[in-house]
Copies of this chain bind each other. A is one copy, B any other.
Amino acid sequence: MTHLPDQGPQPGVHDLGYARLDTDRLERTGDAEVVYGAGKTPSQVVELLRTLHATHPHTAVLATRLTPEAQSAVAAELPEAVVDPVGRTAVLGTPPVSRGTVAVVAAGTSDAPVALEAATTARVFGAHVEMITDVGVAGLHRILGVRERLDEADCLIVVAGMEGALPSVVGGLVGVPLVAVPTSVGYGASFGGVAALLGMLNSCAPGVTVVNIDNGFGAGVFAARVARRAAPREAKDES
């Protein structure tokens, strides 16, 4: 009565008991499955990463939302993995040769964990990544100073908490596809990121799309898919 009953082996599924890896996903969508670390034990994270890597030896596999304990376990048991304690990610294997550029723009230093999760994800999913940090709207000169770098990207990820105004400002400067990520940074009536989320959904700049609060991973997947399809610059210049 107390266990998930055996359903027998299924093609394209790797059953670890506490999780079943969808090993067919790479073929179906072009991207391998990812280890979402929240709620998993350190040893589960290590085993899942190792299994994914064995299935996809020629690309990089990613784990996100790792607790400090899981980061230590990965560092100890998978020494070739690259662990980022701020972005709470681990990467095992070599990312694909990058195509296209994603620029990750962050309003404040407290947005760094989400921004780094987005950046690492975009790299693992095949894009070149540029970081542009600490360009909050209360200091416009900093944003204006990076306008050209923004314009050269194939897709922008703009990360901001509090009132979430940065995507509107950036979206008014350039016409590059822009994914906004609200963060839970804030207090009082920020309601854990809802104020920033609503701000971004109501942006007066056209062409802004939004992902869930703190969802750097989702933004990274999306932006990489856009960037790696983009035509190289000389082709674009004609558009």
- Give chain A's interface residues, CB within 8 Å of chain B: 1-5, 7, 10, 12-13, 18-20, 22, 25, 28-31, 34, 38-39, 82-87, 91, 99, 107-110, 112, 116, 119-120, 123, 126, 131-134, 136-145, 154-155, 162-165, 168-169, 171-179, 184, 186-191, 193-215, 217-219, 221-222, 225-226, 228-232, 235-236, 239
Contacts and interface: CB of A to CB of B under 8 A. Distances in A.
A199 B209 contact: no
Contacts of A137: 137, 165, 168-169, 172, 204-205
10 contacts: A137-B205, A138-B172, A140-B169, A177-B226, A186-B202, A187-B215, A201-B212, A207-B218, A209-B209, A209-B219
A232 B126 CA distance: 18
Given A109-B19, A210-B210, A213-B188, A2 B116 contact: yes
A154 B204 contact: no
Contact of A2 (B87, B179, B203): B87
Nearest to A185: B39
Contacts of A91: 1
B172 A204 contact: no
Q: How many copies does the complex hold?
A: 8
Contact of A239 (B25, B99, B171): B99
B213 A187 contact: yes
A66 to B, nearest CB: 12
Contacts of A193: 188-189
A148 to B, nearest CB: 13
Question: A141, A186, A213: which has the most chain B beta carbons within 10 Å?
Answer: A141
A225 B139 CA distance: 19
Contacts of A179: 209
The 4 residue pairs across chains A and B that have the minimum distance between CB atoms: A138-B172, A165-B165, A188-B213, A29-B175
A85 to B, nearest CB: 7
A199 B195 CA distance: 6
Contacts of A19: 109
